Amino acid sequence: MRDINELRAAIKSAVDAEKEQLIEIGRHIWKNPEPGYREVKTSKYLVEKLKALGLQVKENLALTGFRADIDTGKPGPTLAIMGELDSLIIPTHPEADKETGAIHACGHNSSATAIIGTAIGLLKSGVLNDMSGKIALIATPAEEGIELEYRLVLIREGKIGSIAGKPQLIREGVFDDVDLAYMTHLTSGNFGFNDHNGSIQKIVTFKGKSCHAASPQNGINAQNAVCLAQNAIAFMREKYSNSDKIRIHGIISYCGNSSNVIPDEARMEYMLRAPSIPELVALGKRFDNAVTHASLAAECTCTIDTISGYMPLFDNMKLGQVLKDTVEYLKPGAPFNFNNSFFSSCTDMGDVASIVPGVHGYCPGYSGASHSASMHITDEYSSYVTMSMLNAELCLNLLYGDAATAKEIATDRKGLLSIPEYIKLIDQFDGSITSEYKE
Ligand SMILES: [Zn+2]
Ligand SMILES: [Zn+2]
């Protein structure tokens, strides 16, 4: 067996040799953004790249996702390396798609590119002979919890069971044989990893009665219910201290269309975030209570559809240590956040990391604020090339020799759920309640 340092250098130079191609892929996806469960072109484009590398690809997983396996031919654990396909929608971003407003303002085009870069790093370096087990490259759709009404339609049509891609892939059995999982997300900060909040999503529909707005006494104004509900929701924040890490935020998705008609329908989409399942359950109940009573005060009928969003993310510390060592090899002395701050945002990597040991790592590459019109990729080499190296080097470090490191981490299942337990847990959130106003 060759020395691991020789193999590490081989991966680094194999990926670096394809840097022009990787930067071109990253730019192509940036220029062709598609939001969740609509990533048809992005998926096709990447699948062709993987097929060109000689890999077989299972397509149409969770609608637009795919999986390609790289098998060392020797028995051992299956390590999932993921990349995300979906964009956000921020029409005011200067580079947003003119028609759809879509833009990769979370940098998912980098982790999507790194799927190809990881394959290049493993296949073109000749390292597989000195590794055991399997690498499952998984492209995951719909990480961002947006366009809830569209996704609720997909759920009602039976096309998906979860609004986010990774839970949907888990439902479809894509992770059944996976033993441990990793993905890198782009950041404007340091290398590292951090635990995250979990979430549930709410779609609220208020129904009233339309009439001429010059005689409002003849109608029931659904907009008034939105107004009261948003105030009641805002007052809920008094119940939480900073250390509770609760986040409550939403939008009015529809609120009438003519100022001379009293709106008979208004809708809101909300996201509720908390660091644990019991806190999410309690937060959801408090939200339902506030909204229902606001609706009654406005004499409206309201329906609250609740959909599970993301599990809280608890990173695996042993895998986090392997990530730290890998970063130290690639970027000696680079600052590394070893789970030393909690992120109030969510990721569906939390779902994967609740069924297998997992880590959601970060690699620097952009400036400006995430999820905003100011986000821009400023370091293309780091975003597409370094991230690819990082993924491939991590695979080597975990699966080198008889894959002893991966085997040990795979047994570290404290607090993890079986897939049926996980599905039962997230399904408990889904449901619909209607509160009718009676005179
Ligand atoms: Zn995001
Ligand atoms: Zn993201």
Per-residue pLDDT reduced to its tens digit, 26-61: 999 999 999 999 999 999 999 999 999 999 999 999
The whole-number pLDDT of residue 332 equals 98
The whole-number pLDDT of residue 216 equals 97
Contacts of 185 (CB under 8 A, 6+ apart): 84, 106, 107, 111, 347, 360, 361, 362, 363
Q: How far is CA 380 from CA 69, 97, 266, 337, in A?
A: 27, 20, 43, 22
The whole-number pLDDT of residue 22 equals 98
Confidence at 389, pLDDT banded by 50, 70, 90: very high
Q: Which residues surround ligand 2, an ion (CB under 5 A)?
A: 106
197-251 pLDDT per residue, tens:
999 999 999 999 999 999 999 999 999 999 999 999 999 999 999 999 999 999 9
pLDDT at 177 exceeding the cut of 90:
yes
- Which CATH number is 4-195+313-402 given? 3.40.630.10
Q: What is the C-alpha to C-alpha distance for residues 179 and 134, in angstroms, rounded to an integer? A: 10
The ranges assigned to domains in the chain are 4-195+313-402, 199-310+424-435
293, with CB counted inside 10 A (0-12, 13-18, 19+), is: middle
In the reported structure, the alpha carbon of residue 424 is separated from the centroid of ligand 2 by a whole-number distance in angstroms of 26
Contacts of 400 (CB under 8 A, 6+ apart): 4, 7, 130, 131
Mean pLDDT of all residues in the chain? 97
pLDDT at 67 exceeding the cut of 90:
yes
354, with CB counted inside 10 A (0-12, 13-18, 19+), is: buried
Q: Which amino acid is at 31?
A: K
Q: How far is CA 22 from CA 233, 285, 396, in A?
A: 45, 47, 20
Assigned fold of 199-310+424-435: Alpha-Beta Plaits (3.30.70)
Q: Which residues surround ligand 1, an ion (CB under 5 A)?
A: 106
In the reported structure, the alpha carbon of residue 395 is separated from the centroid of ligand 1 by a whole-number distance in angstroms of 25
In the reported structure, the alpha carbon of residue 363 is separated from the centroid of ligand 2 by a whole-number distance in angstroms of 12
In the reported structure, the alpha carbon of residue 308 is separated from the centroid of ligand 1 by a whole-number distance in angstroms of 17
Q: What is the C-alpha to C-alpha distance for residues 94 and 234, in angstroms, rounded to an integer? A: 32
In the reported structure, the alpha carbon of residue 14 is separated from the centroid of ligand 2 by a whole-number distance in angstroms of 27
The whole-number pLDDT of residue 439 equals 80
In the reported structure, the alpha carbon of residue 107 is separated from the centroid of ligand 1 by a whole-number distance in angstroms of 8
State the pTM of this model. Answer: 0.96
The whole-number pLDDT of residue 438 equals 87
Ligand nearest to the CA of 108: 2
In the reported structure, the alpha carbon of residue 371 is separated from the centroid of ligand 1 by a whole-number distance in angstroms of 6
In the reported structure, the alpha carbon of residue 104 is separated from the centroid of ligand 2 by a whole-number distance in angstroms of 9
271-301 pLDDT per residue, tens:
999 999 999 999 999 999 999 999 999 999 9
Do residues 310 and 347 lie in contact, with contact meaning Cβ atoms separated by under 8 Å?
yes
In the reported structure, the alpha carbon of residue 193 is separated from the centroid of ligand 2 by a whole-number distance in angstroms of 13
